Amino acid sequence: GLSLKIIPRDSPESPLYAGNLTQLESIERFIKSSEAGSQYILGTKSTTTTTNSTLLSYQPENIRLRLLLEGVKFLVQVGIGTPEKQMFLFVDTGGGLIWTQCEPCTNCYPQAYPIYDSTASISYRKLPCNHPLCQGDSALYQFVDGECVYHYEYGSGETTKGIASLDTFELLVGDQTTTEFIPDIIFGCSKESHFPQFAQNGVISGILGLNLSPDSLVSQLFDDEDRRFSHCFVPFPDAMMSPSFLKFGNDIPPPPANIQTTPFVTPPWSFHYHLNLLDISVSSHRIGFRPDTFKIKQDGSGGCTIDSGTLITQIDQNTVGIDAFSVYPPDFGDFATMTYHFEGGDYFVDSMYVNYYSDIGYYFCVSVREGNGQSILGAWHQQNMRITYDIHG
C-alpha cells in the first residue's frame, strides 16, 4: 500500500505557515479558499463512462498518510525527476490532472523554491503523441504542433497549460521512512499558470489530482480492482498541529461491521464523486426534501458531490435558505447534529462539527453556505470520519 503525508496549512510544518493566527483568522482563510474550490468543481467537466463505485464512511482512530493543511488546501510533498526535486502539491479530489510549474516557464506565478526543470531530469520525457490520452475517443489532451498539450480552466478563474509529460515520482510509503520511486507518472509540465492563491506564498507548485479521471494519481497507480484511497481529517483546530494521512490500496484500515456505504452516481460526462443525496435531518427532524431535489440535471447543474478541497458544505441555493450566524448564552451546549441521508446509508455529523464556535464572542456559525447550483459535502463536515473512496465498488 501507499501512504502520503498531508500537511495542514496552519501547522508549523507547513511551508505556508503564517505564524500565530487566531482560530477566527484561520477560518476566514478557510472560507475564501472554500469558495474557490467550489467554483472549480462547477467549472470543470470531462468525458468518461458512468462509474459504479462505492463510498465508505466510518470512524477508526488511526490514520496513516500524512497531509499538510493550507487553509482548506491539503498539501503533500513529492519528489519529481532524476535527480528528484521536492515539490508541494495541493491535494484535489475534484481534479484529475497532476501538474507542477515547469521550466522553461513562459508565464508562471512566483514560487518560493526552484521550479521543476524538465531539462535537468534524465528520466523526463514528453507523453508520446500516439498515447490514448492524447488522441482518440478517450483523449483528455490535445495534439498540437507535434506535442500533447493541455489547457485547464478552473471555475474560479485560474488556468494552467503546458505539455503532457512523464517522469519519475518519489513518494514516502508505509512508516514514512521508506522511499518509493515510481517511473513514468503522467503529469502536466505547466509552462503558463494563473493561480493568485498559490502565488501569495509561492509554496504550492501545482496540483495532485485524485478524481475518477484516468490521469489521476489513484487511476495511474492502481488496477481497477484496487482503486481505493482514504483519509481521516484531524478535527479543527487540532489539525493546525496534528498530521493527517492519505492512504491507498492495502494501507487502508479494514472497515468495521457497522460501516455505512453509498454508491457513486457519477454521470457520463463527469469525473467528480457524485452521491445520491435523498434528504437531510437536523437533530431528529427530517426536513423532507423531494427525492429528486439533489439529483443532477441534464445541463450539469444540481447534484451532490463530496470534495475535500471545499471546506464549507454547500447546499444548492435553489433548495434551501440558511441563517448562518447566531449568538448563544455562555452555558448553552445543546447544538444540533446533522444527518445526510444518502442512498444506502446515513452520514452523521456530530454537533461539534456542524458549526464553528467562538468562545470569545459566544457566537456560532453553521458551517453550511448556499451553493451556486450544486450541493457539496465539504471538509468541515468530514472531520474525524474515515472516508474511503472505493472506486471499483
For 107, counting Cβ atoms within 10 Å of its Cβ (0-12 exposed, 13-18 middle, 19+ buried), the class is exposed
pLDDT at position 20 is: 55
The helix (run of H) or strand (run of E) holding residue 125 is: strand 125-126
Residue 55 lies in a domain: no
Which among 79, 80, 74 has a CA at the least distance from the CA of 92? Answer: 74
Residue 56 lies in a domain: no
Q: Which residues of the chain have pLDDT under 50?
A: 30, 34, 36, 38-65, 322, 324-329
pLDDT at position 237 is: 62
Task: Give residue 356's domain range.
Answer: 260-390
Q: How far apart are CA 56 and CA 78, in angstroms?
A: 27
Residue 235 and residue 112 share a domain: yes
pLDDT at position 262 is: 96
Q: Quote the cell numbers at residue 173.
A: 510509503
Residue 218: φ, ψ to 5°:
-65, -35
Residue 143 and residue 85 share a domain: yes
Q: pLDDT tens digits for 107-129? A: 999 999 999 999 999 999 999 99
Last residue of a domain, one of 251, 279, 314: 251
pLDDT at position 358 is: 61
pLDDT at position 62 is: 27
Q: Quote the cell numbers at residue 179.
A: 522511499
pLDDT at position 151 is: 94
Q: Find the CATH number of the domain harbouring 222.
A: 2.40.70.10
Q: How far apart are CA 52 and CA 264, in angstroms?
A: 6
Residue type, 262: T
Question: pTM score, two decimals?
Answer: 0.80
For 361, counting Cβ atoms within 10 Å of its Cβ (0-12 exposed, 13-18 middle, 19+ buried), the class is exposed
Residue 309 and residue 186 share a domain: no
Residue 210 and residue 113 share a domain: yes
Residue 183 and residue 275 share a domain: no
State the residue for C-alpha cell 468518461. 48
Q: How far apart are CA 295 and CA 274, in angstroms?
A: 9
Residue 326 and residue 275 share a domain: yes
CA atoms within 13 A on the CB side of 263: 10
Name all contacts of 145-154 with Cβ < 8 Å and 24+ positions apart: 150/97, 150/188, 152/44, 152/97, 152/99, 152/188, 153/43, 154/39, 154/40, 154/43, 154/44
What is the three-class DSSP state of 26?
Answer: helix
CB 350 within 8 A of CB 337: yes
Q: Quote the cell numbers at residue 34.
A: 472554500
Last residue of a domain, one of 251, 284, 314: 251
> What total number of domains does the chain contain?
2
Residue 328 and residue 296 share a domain: yes
Last residue of a domain, one of 228, 251, 274: 251
Residue 347 and residue 233 share a domain: no
Residue 14 and residue 84 share a domain: yes
Distance of CA 344 to the CA centre of its chain: 24
Residue 204 and residue 181 share a domain: yes
